[in-house]
């Protein structure tokens, strides 16, 4: 059996004891009242005649009514100090009047002492108890011929008074101590409940902390993977650009010079012509191989996809990573494009989106790829803070920075143009125009 069950059983046992005590006091008061009337009938029958009967019966009835209306009424329990004081004063007056006529109702005085110690705080017990004791002593004639009275009778009277009064006080003190213990147990229970709730909350916080640590670890691994992939992608891009800018162009130049040299050889220079032809074929093979390598190093977004599809994927991925809404739109009749043109436009779009994320503070970005008859136009438009294109060498990199310069160089290699349209507070649009004829 745990502590809560023990406390609950003790509470139920005390409640049963309290109910029995209340019934006991009711029986005692009713029995005392009945015996008092019998004693008056035997010793002073004249009090139960005429107006005297009306007064005695009225006082006893008032005593019983107050007892039921106040002490036996749950609405008044626990009795407040004001109500308890008024009740005790009225009952003392009633008992005093009865004691003036006869000692037969002394039992009601003893019951009143029990009520005094049950209603008032201990520091107020002395005065009303002393008043009741004096009234009972007067009713029993303890003060007749004082100080030459019957001291044996007085001693017995005072002993009985002290005995009953001490018993009443002891019962009430035990009851009050029990209430204090009950309050203390309730406080301990509340503290234990609070401790259990705190322990549960700490466990939840620990679980949440562990989950957060796990999420951070996952994010760290994903970030490391993304950084590695970005590094690989950047390296592939650098290699493709270097191969295109060096080997491919050099092979093209060698082929052109060999063709020119072959055209200038005399007809009888058969051996030299043969060597030039062999060199020209080797140069063309080297050019084809370099172009194949450039094609193999194409961005992953273009693997198995056309440029419009790659731009759509780029917008979706960039929006998920940046939290900024991005859409890709295609206009005109879609047609196949040279790989180098697709790579260049995709790289320009990536660089433009990187600038938007770093500097624009935009909430919407639109990528528009327009297929014209002999021209291809790519627009990257945002609704961000914008800037003044006429101010050179801006620190944000959107005008005169390496990113924009790199984009212009890429587009310029294909014979195209790149322009920037922007103004403070009006967003920015990057426009790329490349011929396809």
Q: pLDDT tens digits, residue range 85-99?
A: 888 888 888 888 887
55 plus 173 within the same structural domain: yes
Domain stops at, among 240, 273, 296 = 296
Higher-scoring residue by pLDDT: 138, 194: 194
Above 90 in pLDDT, residue 149? no
Question: CA 41, CA 48: separation in Å to the nearest integer?
Answer: 7
275 lies in the same domain as 330? no
Residue 8 lies in a domain: no
Report if residue 98 sits inside a domain: yes
Mean pLDDT of 398-406: 56
Mean pLDDT, the chain, whole residue set: 77
CA pair distance 25, 34, nearest whole angstrom: 14
Residue 208 falls inside a structural domain: no
Spatial CB neighbours of 394, under 8 Å, sequence gap ≥ 6? 387, 400, 401
| pTM score of the predicted model | 0.37
- Asked if residue 159 and residue 63 are part of one domain, the reply reads yes
pLDDT, tens digit (0-9, with 9 covering 90-100), for 283-299: 776 667 666 666 556 66
Structural domain boundaries, residue 364 = 306-435
Percent residues over pLDDT 70 in the chain: 67
Per-residue pLDDT, 402: 45
Domain assignment of residue 109, yes or no: yes
pLDDT value of position 342: 86
Q: Identify the pLDDT of residue 256.
A: 73
252 lies in some domain: yes
pLDDT grade for 105, boundaries at 50, 70 and 90: confident
Confidence of residue 29 (pLDDT cuts 50, 70, 90): confident
Give the H/E segment covering residue 52. Answer: helix 50-66
> Which of 296, 324, 345 is the C-terminal boundary of a domain?
296
Task: Show the CA angle centred on residue 323, arms to residues 321 and 328, nearest 5°.
Answer: 80
Residue 323 shares a structural domain with residue 344: yes
- Would you state the pLDDT for residue 224? 78
Regarding whether 426 and 287 lie in a shared domain, the answer is no
C-beta separation of 380 from 352 below 8 A: yes
Query: Could you give the angle at the alpha carbon of 334 between the alpha carbons of 328 and 338, nearest 5°?
Result: 100
Query: How many separate domains does the chain show?
Result: 3
Shared domain for 257 and 374, answered yes or no, is no
More confident residue, 325 or 403: 325
- Whole-number Å distance between alpha carbons of 227 and 405: 24
The predicted pLDDT at position 143 comes to 63
CATH number, domain with residue 354: 3.30.565.10
Radius of gyration of the chain (CA): 55
Is the pLDDT reported for residue 220 higher than 80? yes
- The mean-pLDDT minimum among 5-19, 24-38, 45-59, 331-345 falls in 5-19
Q: Which tens digit of pLDDT belongs to each residue from 342-382? A: 888 888 998 899 889 888 899 999 999 999 988 999 999 99
Q: What is the pLDDT of residue 326?
A: 93
What is the strand order of the sheet 428-435 is part of? 325-331, 364-371, 375-382, 428-435, 417-422
Domain shared by 171 and 125, yes or no = yes
Question: What pLDDT band is residue 416 in, cutting at 50, 70 and 90?
Answer: very high
pLDDT value of residue 144: 64
- Please indicate, yes or no, whether residues 315 and 287 belong to a single structural domain of this protein: no
Look at residue 384 and tell me if it is in a domain: yes
**Do 78 and 225 have their domain in common?**
no
Question: What's residue 401's pLDDT?
Answer: 41
Element holding 418 (H helix, E strand): strand 417-422
Is 379 found in the same domain as 261? no
Determine the average pLDDT of the residues in 8-28.
66
Statement to judge: residues 167 and 23 lie in one domain: yes
Please check whether residue 3 lies inside any domain of the structure.
no
CA 65 vs. chain centroid, Å, equals: 57
Is residue 393 predicted with pLDDT exceeding 60?
Answer: no
- The pLDDT value recorded for residue 382 is 94
Q: Are residues 20 and 109 in the same domain?
A: yes
The confidence score (pLDDT) of residue 400 equals 38
Listed residues 276, 296, 316: the one ending a domain: 296
Return the pLDDT at 54.
83
Within a domain: residue 141? yes
């Amino acid at each position: 059996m745990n502590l809560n069950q023990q406390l609950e059983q003790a509470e139920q046992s005390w409640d049963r004891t309290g109910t029995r005590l209340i019934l006991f006091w009711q029986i005692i008061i009713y029995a005392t009242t009945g015996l008092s009337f019998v004693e008056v009938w035997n010793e002073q029958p004249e009090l139960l005649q005429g107006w005297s009967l009306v007064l005695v019966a009225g006082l006893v009835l008032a005593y019983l009514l107050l007892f039921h209306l106040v002490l036996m009424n749950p609405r008044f329990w626990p009795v407040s100090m004001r109500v308890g004081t008024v009740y005790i004063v009225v009952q003392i007056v009633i008992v005093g009047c009865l004691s003036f006529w006869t000692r037969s109702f002394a039992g009601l005085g003893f019951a009143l002492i029990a009520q005094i110690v049950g209603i008032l705080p201990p520091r107020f017990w002395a005065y009303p108890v002393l008043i009741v004791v004096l009234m009972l002593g007067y009713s029993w004639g303890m003060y007749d011929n004082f100080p030459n009275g019957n001291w044996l009778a007085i001693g017995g009277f005072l002993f009985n008074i002290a005995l009953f009064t001490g018993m009443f006080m002891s019962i009430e003190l035990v009851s009050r101590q029990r209430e204090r213990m009950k309050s203390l147990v309730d406080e301990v229970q509340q503290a234990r409940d609070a401790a259990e709730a705190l322990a549960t909350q700490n466990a939840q916080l620990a679980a949440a902390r562990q989950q957060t640590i796990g999420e951070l670890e996952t994010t760290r691994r994903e970030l490391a993977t993304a950084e590695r992939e970005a590094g690989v992608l950047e390296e592939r891009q650098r290699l493709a650009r270097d191969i295109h800018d060096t080997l491919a162009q050099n092979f093209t130049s060698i082929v052109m010079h060999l063709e020119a040299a072959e055209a200038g050889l005399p007809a009888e220079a058969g051996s030299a012509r043969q060597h030039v032809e062999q060199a020209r074929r080797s140069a063309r093979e080297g050019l084809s191989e370099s172009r194949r390598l450039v094609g193999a190093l194409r961005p992953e977004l273009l693997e198995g996809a056309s440029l419009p599809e790659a731009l759509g994927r780029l917008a979706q991925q960039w929006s998920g990573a940046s939290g900024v809404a991005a859409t890709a739109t295609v206009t005109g009749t879609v047609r196949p494009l040279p790989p180098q043109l697709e790579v260049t436009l995709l790289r320009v779009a990536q660089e433009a989106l990187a600038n938007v994320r770093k500097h624009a503070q935009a909430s919407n970005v639109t990528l528009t790829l327009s297929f014209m008859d002999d021209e291809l136009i790519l627009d990257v438009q945002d609704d961000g803070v914008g800037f003044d294109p006429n101010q050179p060498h801006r620190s944000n990199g959107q005008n005169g920075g390496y990113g924009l310069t790199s984009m212009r160089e890429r587009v310029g290699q294909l014979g195209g143009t790149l322009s920037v349209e922007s103004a403070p507070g009006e967003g920015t649009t990057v426009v790329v125009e490349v011929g396809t004829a």
